[in-house]
Structure 1
């Protein structure tokens, strides 16, 4: 089995993770608890891409708008579409990120890191300050990757654990409940 086949075969993990994370964030009003880290605010917003099928037989549904308008995306889940991409707002402590996460390849797109004092600093700063600003941006990107990794690790622990059937049932109920409100 070559790498492309392996990616194609396992892409459902990223899609399932995004769906689980969306449900998990709504379960507690936009907050997900990561053991050992604490509560992280996770809000799905404005843009989602859902897919069904493969290659020339694929169908895509792009949902955009306010969070309350993402009912269409949940209806897409109900009809068998898989969440392939989502715009997510993440808050940890005083830091806020916006990122579009691609499910199949776990791609980070359109990352908007937190604003910092260095963000608005003069571009004619001495080299030491410029280096500090670059290191701060690297730290903030690494922190985002750590948060997403922690969330994925939490998902994998649940997915591989004995509580997965119960959690899956709750996710299915969440999807069906959204459709009943329409």
Structure 2
């Protein structure tokens, strides 16, 4: 199933030839997830939504050089690991991540995003609350097809809105002096925190 999305289609075309843009976007998402102090407000399909973001249980970092070594981290909370901080400090960026997001009053989503085309894989949609079965035990309820399609459209719309925000920041002449500077400070803070964790 293909869902039309002008910015996502544009990104996929660019990403095939310039995966560095996808890497920058995914690394920026990680930075955003760790530094935002309140829910992120986005406009999706003409509606305002508020979301929380996090890096879930898969993270792959890689350098820009040809044949660069990959750091593949799975399980637990890899984005807060010492290995992740060290990889960022050496200039590696995100090649692949499992992104988690929670929509206010709309449930939780997660999907694996790769830098080459940003097509969501292994998309997990919000699940309805379990209902009590005849035996009194809670039973899982399947999301109806129409609701699954709507939820998928919502996720793609959120991803599209996130990329649009990134793109606006990326083409701003102040990108290096603002966002890049803030991201470098974030990387340094992560290193300091890891050092503190090791000492205590």
Is the shorter-chain TM-score for this pair beyond 0.5, marking a shared fold? yes
Note the alpha carbon deviations across 1:55-112, whole angstroms, 9 max, x for none.
6x23110123225743421321211222011111111123210111112211211111
Partner in structure 2 of residue 98 of structure 1? 110
Instruction: Give the drift of 1:38.
Output: 4.3
Within 5 A, what are the aligned runs for 1:67-106? 69-94=80-105, 95-106=107-118
Q: Select the structure that is richer in helix.
A: 1
1:125: which partner in 2? none
Contact 1:51–1:83 under 8 Å retained in 2? yes
Q: Following the alignment from structure 2 to structure 1, what is the Cα–Cα distance between the partners of residues 149 and 128?
A: 12
SS at match of 2:144: helix
Cα contact 2:16–2:117 (8 A) shared by 1: no
For structure 2, the residue ranges without an aligned partner over 5 or more in a row are 1-13, 131-138, 196-200
Aligned in 2, Cα 1:31/1:78: closer, same or farther, shift over 3 Å?
farther
Contact 1:42 1:88 in 2 (8 A): yes
Pair 1:121–1:80, CA change in 2 (3 A): closer
Cα shift at 1:19 = 0.9
Bigger mean CA deviation after superposition, 41-50 or 157-166: 157-166
4+ residue runs of structure 1 moved beyond 4 angstroms?
Answer: 6-9
Q: 1:18 to 1:31 in 2, by over 3 A?
A: farther
Q: Distance in 1 between matches of 2:180 and 2:64?
A: 22
Would you say the 8 A contact 2:129–2:141 is kept in 1? Answer: yes
Q: Report the TM-score, using the length of structure 1 for normalisation.
A: 0.79
Partner SS, residue 154 of structure 1? helix
The within-5 A match list for 1:28-177 is: 28-29=36-37, 31-34=39-42, 37-53=48-64, 57-64=67-74, 65-66=76-77, 69-94=80-105, 95-116=107-128, 120-121=140-141, 133-165=144-176, 166-177=178-189
Query: Matched residue of 2:117: which SS?
Result: coil
* Alpha-carbon contact 1:44-1:88 (below 8 Å) kept: yes
Report what 1:26 is aligned to: 34
Structure 1 unmatched ranges of 5 or more: 1-5, 123-131
